[in-house]
Structure 1
Amino acid sequence: MAILIADDSRNKQTLNGTNVKHFLMPYLEGYAAGKNLLVSQVRTKYLLWVDDYFEFTRGTILERLLEKLESPTAELDVVAGFISDHKGGVSDTINNDPWKWLKYSRDPDGNGCIVRTETSFPYGTVERFPNCAFKDVVPNFFMAKTESLRKVGFDSTFEQVAHHELFIDGWGYLKIVQCDDVTILHDRSKSIVESTFINHHFSEEELVEHSDHVLFKNGLENFQSWNPHYFGKRRN
């Protein structure tokens, strides 16, 4: 298995290992820019995406993710797993991220809304894989078709706030499911990211600016700000 690393840290380390490709980038070039670089260098049909604070366990059976992607009838682009913790809990998400559970709905006038829900919102299950539910947003533990991710790409406008724009940009392009038969341990205490990044707390202004940008470029806009369940509405 090849391991690709895009490194925009201040102090570059020498990384030695079999099948390791280490790409050096300018300092703080950005999370999305690094992801675009990595995906452009993938030479295989599929790729696996994980964050540095995930730990592989006996439940991280990658062959099960591959099985779904290889299915000729399911025709999936992204297959995600579930997240486990040290207490034995298993969940389809990590924390109270306001973007984690979204769905797209259309009103009688033909306008579309991104609705932020209180619970996970699956669109049904895959016929051959009843343990897999169709989703709009999944955690950063997934296997995907390389070409599918290349077609959507990662928005490098923001250097650090990233992840969810891939799924918003991918609406109508990416067919995504999340399956409960593959798990990975979430352990942020073992993160290898530089402390300068870990200690950066995103301001509300940064998060709002990021959200507005993602919605605007997809023909969506913030509305009903008093109602936290509605994130965006398609512009006529």
Structure 2
Amino acid sequence: MLKKLFAEFFGTFWLVFGGCGSALFAAGVPNTGIGLLGVALAFGLTVLTMVYAVGHISGGHFNPAVSVGLMIGGRFPAKDLIPYIIAQLVGAIAAAGCLYIILNGAGAFSKEGAGAFATNFYDLPGYNNRSFSVGAAFLAEFLLTAFFLIVIMGATDKWANGKFAGIAIGLCLTLIHLISIPITNTSVNPARSTSQALFVGGTALSQLWLFWLAPILGGAVGGAIYKLLLQKDQNA
């Protein structure tokens, strides 16, 4: 069990460090910055690489909503849920701490504005000065997490070609970010949201409830949909 928790710690650390780090350091570089597409790819690549690196040890969740969805879908034991979530949170917070130290080394850490320190947000003027309502943000996070679970469960089904599961999952997370970075700065992962909000505080912390509730519910629904409506009968 300890190895599984270490795998979840390192996988979630890499997701936050690579995904949020790309947004903080590389997205806005004049002329050569990676932009929205680059950040979306970075998040997808973090999951893709860690699925192959440690997925065989822990299952490669790196996300409390994924753990809940897999539990509802019958792929993960309930007794391991809380330890997994704790390991994911610790990994995410450790990564955010490293990002803070690096960013602060250049005097560039800021708590100002929507999405400061790669936090998630709603009802605030963000990209193109658009402000998405709490309902719009909730629906986006709910739907995208539900589909993420459907892809995860389908790609890792025993009837699927498991060698390509990491690629499908990584590309799905990339697509999710392409859709929702302009809406909420993309969560679909309560650990990722919590780690950044803890360093910013204020509005980021007060809005954190949505980035727990919507992904958790979406993950649970996605897991249930796959189990009840899509999963092939093992006796067939």
Question: Which is greater in Rg?
Answer: 1
Q: TM-score, normalised by structure 1?
A: 0.25
TM-score, length-normalised on structure 2? 0.25
- Return the structure number with greater strand share: 1
Structure with the bigger percentage of helix: 2
